[in-house]
Amino acid sequence: MARKPRTIITCAVTGAIHTPTMSDALPYTYDQIAEAAIEAAEAGASILHLHARNPETGAPSVDPEDFKPFLPRIKQATDAVVNISTGGSLTLSIQDRIRPAATFSAEMCSMNMGSMNFSFHPLAKRYTDWKFDWEKDYVAGSDGNIFRNTFRDIEEAAKTLAPHDIKFEHECYDVGHLYNLRFCMDIGLFKAPIFIQFVMGILGGIGADIDNLVFMKKTADKLFGDDYRWSILAAGAAQIPMATTASQMGGNVRVGLEDSLFIQRGVLADSNAQQVHKIRRIVEELGCEVASPEEAREILDLKGGDRTAF
C-alpha cells in the first residue's frame, strides 16, 4: 500500500498582532506560552512558531531574556521543531529582530521576503475597554506601519544566521515576494530546499482566496521547480478553509492564535491546541497523515534539535 502524504502542521502560538484584550486564550506570560506550545505539540503540531511577550503587560518583545524562560521547558517536554520569529516588531531594526534566533540557534526562523504595509488597525474599532494601556494605540496606530525588510536587511539576516545553520521559513505575503526570494537564491543567500510560507489575508498583502493560492503556487513552481516545500497561513476566518485547501494541493499548514483567535466564525478558540486538533482531524479525514517532528525535520532538511542553544 502506498504511503499516505505527510502534512506538517505548524502552530503559531502568540504572535505580535493580537493583544490580551482580544482573547483570554492568547498566551503572554512565560508559563502560558510554554503550556500553550506544549499542548499544541501534543495535539499534533510538529513545528512551533514562537514570539515572546512582556509577561507583565502582554506587549510583544524581541528581548532574548523573554524567550529564555519558556524555550527550555518546551524542548524538555516535546520533540517539536522550534521556529523563532524574526518579525516580532514592526518598528525595530533587523539586528534587533534576529537576536533571539541567533542567541538560541534555533532550527528554524521566519523571514519576511520584502517590505510592506502591514496593518491591523480595523481591529481597534471592535473594543471599547482594554486590559492594558498600550493596546489601543498599538492596534489603531498600525495604519502607519511599514514592515521593513529591504534586500540589505534580508542579506544581513541571512549572513548573520548562516553559521547557525538555521532553516528559514520564507514568509511571502504577495507574489512579488517570491521573486525577491528567487533573486536572493540567485546571489547565494539561501540554498535549496527552501521552505515557503504563503501568507494570505493580512491587510497590506495578498487576499486569502483559492485563486490567489493557486497563482502563488504556480508562480513558485515556475521559480523554484522541485527545490521548495510550502505551507500556508491565512488570517482570521480564512485560516481553516485555506489550510484545508492547501493540504489537498500538497502543501503544509499553519494554525494558531497568532493568525486567528477563532475556532469557527464568531466563536473564539479555547486554545492553540483546539485549532491544531481541528486541522489535524480534517487533514487526516481527507486522506493525509500528519508529519511527526522527525518527519518534518527530514522533509525540510533541518539540523536537528540537538544543535540548538537552549
Predicted TM-score of the model (pTM): 0.97
Q: Give me the pLDDT at residue 156, please.
A: 97
Q: Give me the pLDDT at residue 2, please.
A: 63
Q: Give me the pLDDT at residue 1, please.
A: 62
Q: Classify residue 287 as exposed, middle or buried by CB count within 10 Å of its CB (0-12, 13-18, 19+).
A: exposed
Residue bearing cell 466563536: 267
pLDDT < 50 stretches in the chain? none
Q: Classify residue 239 as exposed, middle or buried by CB count within 10 Å of its CB (0-12, 13-18, 19+).
A: buried
Q: Which residues pair with 169 in a beta bridge?
A: 110, 195
Q: What share of the chain is helix, strand, coil (3-state, %, to 5)?
A: 45, 20, 35
Beta-carbon neighbour count of residue 137 at 10 Å? 11
